[in-house]
Amino acid sequence: MNKHSLSAEARRKTILSIVLGVICVIYVLPVLTVVINSFKLNTYVKTDTFALPNAESFAGWANFIKGLTFGNYPFLKSAGYSLFITIVSTALILLCTSMAAWYIARVDSKFCRMVYYLCVFSMVVPFQMVMFTLSKTADTLKLNTPWTIPIIYLGFGAGLAIFMFVGFVKSIPLEIEEAAAIDGCGPLRTYFSVVLPMLRPTMISVGILEIMWVWNDYLLPYLVLDRTKYLTIPIHIQYLKGSYGTVDLGATMALILLSIIPVIVFYLLCQKYIIKGVAAGAVKG
């Protein structure tokens, strides 16, 4: 390779780095804006949105204190509901969809293929098409509480999960399961002892994606839950209003920051598992 080729390659990498750097700044800017404004007085959030806090506009921890103590509904209670719904919904999705995907992948029948295609089709159906019918059905079946809404999340999260699990299960050699059957393992024991450990990379990837979706979801809990009794974090922030509908943007930004910190930390700690899961599926598939 001559010097001219090396120079062109270096310029290409430099341009690519600049473009990717600009894209990263665009993605990070909204988060930085929230962080900056969470420490500013409400007046300056409206007038100097992108300015850094100074001696005049700095509010300290007042916004966080006001956000946590605002109104008669404690923020920690909303956080507890969000945490419960997220954990239970994700656990249901992972267990039920992985078992269903294993059955679909191993039983070659028209019924299984139809179920698989319906699950894939559900991924492209806009939520707005079904939200009003869903709200009425949830009220009729008494699914409008934090203890029952995970069932609804299971239905909406099944499409992506089954799609990913089926692709991975098909890459697992069938001889491993046949050997387990010869050793006397029934279907349940084969699944939990043989199949489930091999599904670990994809299960972690699906789990991370589902956790981030359920934790940040606003529309489904807003439509389904009884908002006089149960508020998740996104709904709690939306109801952070004073008299005459005024909104304290400083306190709102503070609560938004508190709500996104767990997701950001969780994603940073687990992003390597997403890469491993996708790579494993790509290699084996």
pLDDT band per the 50, 70, 90 thresholds, residue 279: low
pLDDT band per the 50, 70, 90 thresholds, residue 6: low
Length, in residues, of the chain: 285
Break the chain into its structural domains and give their ranges: 3-63, 73-239
Residue-wise pLDDT for 57-86, tens only, equals: 888 888 888 888 877 778 889 999 999 999
pLDDT band per the 50, 70, 90 thresholds, residue 285: very low
Mean predicted confidence (pLDDT) in 134-139:
86
Q: SS3 for the chain, per residue?
A: CCHHHHHHHHHHHHHHHHHHHHHHHHHHHHHHHHHHHCCECHHHHHHCCCCCCCCCCECCCHHHHHHHHCCCCCHHHHHHHHHHHHHHHHHHHHHHHHHHHHHHHHCCCHHHHHHHHHHHHHCCCCHHHCHHHHHHHHHHCCCCCCCCHHHHHHHHHHHHHHHHHHHHHCCCCHHHHHHHHHCCCCHHHHHHHHHHHHCHHHHHHHHHHHHHHHHHCCHHHHHHCCCCCCCCHHHHHHCCECHHHCECHHHHHHHHHHHHHHHHHHHHHHHHHHHHHHHHHHHHC
* 99-103, 152-156, 224-228: range with lowest mean pLDDT: 224-228
Output the pLDDT for position 277: 60
Cα 40 to Cα 53: distance, rounded to the nearest angstrom: 6
Cα 184 to Cα 32: distance, rounded to the nearest angstrom: 57
With a pLDDT cut of 90, the percent of the chain lying above it is 16
Q: Which backbone phi and psi does 241 adopt, to 5 degrees? A: -130, 145
Query: Which of 268, 281, 263, 253 has the alpha carbon at shortest distance from 59?
Result: 253
What pTM does this model have?
Answer: 0.85
Residue-wise pLDDT for 91-113, tens only, equals: 999 999 999 999 998 888 899 89
Q: Which residue has the higher pLDDT, 178 or 81?
A: 81
Query: Tokens for 251?
Result: 């306190």
Q: Which fold has domain 73-239?
A: MetI-like fold (1.10.3720)
pLDDT band per the 50, 70, 90 thresholds, residue 284: very low
Output the pLDDT for position 282: 46
Query: Which of 92, 285, 96, 277 has the alpha carbon at shortest distance from 191?
Result: 96
Give me the chain's average pLDDT, please.
84
* 1-10, 90-99, 260-269: range with lowest mean pLDDT: 1-10
Q: Which backbone phi and psi does 45 adopt, to 5 degrees? A: -65, -35
Q: Which residue has the higher pLDDT, 87 or 173?
A: 87
Q: Quick check: 8 pLDDT over 80?
A: no
